[in-house]
Amino acid sequence: MAQIFHRSTNTIARVSIYGAALIAFSAVYLLYIFAGSPYVTEVNMAKVQPVPFSHRHHAGELGIDCRYCHTSVEESSDAGIPPTQTCMTCHSQIWTGSPMLEPVRASYRDDQSIPWVRVNQVPDYVYFNHSIHINKGIGCTTCHGPVGDMPLTWQANSLQMGWCLDCHRAPQNFVRPRNQVFSVTYQTPSDQAELGPKLVKQYKIQSLTNCTTCHR
Amino acid sequence: MAAAPNPPVIEPGHTYASVTDKISSIVLTRKTPRGWYVGFGISFLLFMMFNYAVTYLLVKGVGIWGINIPVAWGFAIINFVWWIGIGHAGTLISAILLLLKQSWRTSINRFAEAMTLFAVACAGVFPLLHMGRPWLFYWLIPYPNTMFLWPQFRSPLVWDVFAVSTYATVSLLFWFVGLIPDLATMRDRARSRFVKVIYGFLAMGWRGSAVHWSRFEMASLLLAGLATPLVVSVHTVVSFDFAIALVPGWHTTIFPPYFVAGAIYSGFAMVLTLAIPMRKFYQLQDVITMRHLDNMAKVMLATGMVVAYGYIIEAFMSFYSGNTFEKFMTLNRWKGPYAFFYWCLIACNIAIPQMLWSKKVRSNVALLFVLALVINVGMWLERFVIVVTSLHRDFMPSAWGLYIPTRWDWAVYVGTIGFFLMLFFLFIRVLPAISIFELRTLVESEEAKPAS
């Protein structure tokens, strides 16, 4: 009786056993890498804005406090996007003729908001509150990255749940003294291992990892 | 006392060649009977209805079903438990009876295992659909994720995922490994090149050498060893879905054994439901003999008695416990809005099957078929009663409600029956429905002859 298959099929059959396992594992691994990649999370991708506002210039070089513009960050869930009037407190006096700032003046004249492009956003099913984080000693730059060095603003962290839990499971690694919360140049001190637990105790920080802490 | 001789497990007169001819010809040479086309056509139409109902469900959401608070577990869970239970007979026949060296299993194990696979496939559909967003089903699996989160391992619903997926994998492997020697037979007997290649591919180079056989025997035994605990564990875990909860009527320790017995009970009923028409239409009375039907009827009778014991203890405990809610739950089962279904269940699962004590009934094929259908219905009603009567009136009268399934509930349920039968028709058509090589071992054995 003639053979149905060529003898090379034996080798192919053996290889395919390992091949299938390899393909299955690499597919899962690649998907995992993809899900955390900047292509999905948009981390480190500066957003084009209607006005090329530079946090490096305003917050870093000039040293304007975060709260000068983001006024509600200490009391509200939202940090707040400043209205054009906030810009005009200075820019009605300085750089009044700059063509770069024309959209700001136009917005002021026409009473139309500047359509800023949102950079950091959590999904609707996450109840994030800025004020509690600020008041418990979590600095702006802990989540938003080195804002004082950003010519255009980009998202510094993935904002994925795993990243949230890094801190919620171990807040002592990230907490800083309350008077340093708005510093854009703060560096984690070398004695964080001692300072962290002390501040956690002092500020009565709970490690909240219940589902309902964020998903209500 | 001289007992009447048992019928043989294979009728006398068969030789190695005649067995192989008989079984392989069903697939390869005999003309497909017209009944096959009719049966396949009807089940295919039901399968299409299933697809339609599921598509509409995915578009609209689970609101098209009758589920709501307080009865959030409706048909989906009832049908899931029913189908999973049906699968258990296949595993029992193929694994436990193999280890116990019961030779009568050989002519029924192949299609009973196929039945297991198809039943598990039908069962798996329901929890997925019940999730509401089935495309996120992989959240149930512990995989590396961006949420840094595992599933809730304390939840029996997660245990279910492991139990059922293990069950499906082991059943598939066991079934496929058992098929390999027969696939090689089919390959060698096929006439067209295409068919040869397909069976040859599936036979994975089987040549029937002594080494092959020795490894095959070892693999079968190991898989049987793996599958044996699954007969008990899978439905135990399914029963935990209920028993771990605090709902009256669910929170009882009798659930695991009583669920396992119920599973085997319904499974054997389904094997009989499939075997009786199959042996008639394909003239297989000489290999699926009265001995098989008789043995299966006895297994049904035994497991049915265990199930009856479960019902009695359930009712007894609810009064003996002195717990108001348990007591009310039982009275509500007996006299509440779903009392009709409870008493139907008692009739179908306990009262009517008592006929199986009689040898006359067990040797009446038509009556046996009807009884198997009755038990299938009864076991479905059992799950309906467990799920619905406990949920619809639990602790707070202000939270009570009624559950009325909608036509979409029925469409999905009847659709899976169509899906199941369609797969079974395809299986009979393209694979040897009875294990050829195992039947050949019976030809010369003592057990082929009537026992004295």
Respond yes or no on whether ipTM tops 0.85.
Answer: no
Please answer whether residues B387 and B78 qualify as being in contact, where contact means their C-beta atoms are separated by less than 8 angstroms. Answer: yes
Determine the distance in angstroms separating the CA of B145 from the nearest CA of chain A, rounded to an integer. Answer: 7
Token pair 């469900």 is at which residue? B57
Q: Which of B143, B148, B187 sits opposite A162 (nearest CB)?
A: B148
Contacts of A121 (CB under 8 A, 6+ apart): A159
Task: For residue range B113-148, list pLDDT tens digits in order.
Answer: 999 999 999 999 999 999 989 999 998 999 888 888
Instruction: State the number of CA atoms in the 13 A half-sphere of B242 facing the CB.
Output: 28
Q: Which of B138, B145, B207 is best to mutate for the A interface (most A CBs within 10 A)?
A: B145
Q: Quote the tokens at residue B130.
A: 């019940």
Percent above pLDDT 90 for chain B: 78
Contacts of B395 (CB under 8 A, 6+ apart): B248, B325
Question: What's the rounded mean pLDDT across residues B5-16?
Answer: 80
Does residue B450 come out as left (phi exceeding 0), alpha (psi in the -120 to 50 range) or beta? Answer: beta
Least confident stretch, B129-133, B342-346, B372-376, B416-420:
B129-133
User: Which neighbouring-strand residues pair with A43?
Assistant: A155
List CB contacts (< 8 A) between B143 and chain A: 28, 32
CA A78 to chain CA centroid, Å, is 14
| Residue in B with minimal Cα distance to A210 | B149
Q: Which domains does chain B have, with CATH numbers?
A: 16-444 (1.20.1630.10)
Alpha-carbon span B150 to A27, nearest angstrom: 20
Q: Which of B144, B200, B204 sits opposite A32 (nearest CB)?
A: B144
Amino acid at B139: W
Please answer whether residues B438 and B109 qualify as being in contact, where contact means their C-beta atoms are separated by less than 8 angstroms. Answer: yes
| Residue in A with minimal Cα distance to B184 | A4
Task: For residue range A120-165, list pLDDT tens digits in order.
Answer: 999 999 999 999 999 999 999 999 999 999 999 999 999 999 999 9
Task: For residue range B195-224, list pLDDT tens digits in order.
Answer: 999 999 999 889 999 999 999 999 999 999
Determine the distance in angstroms separating the CA of A74 from the nearest CA of chain B, rounded to an integer. Answer: 27
DSSP character at residue A171: G
Please answer whether residues B192 and B34 qualify as being in contact, where contact means their C-beta atoms are separated by less than 8 angstroms. Answer: no
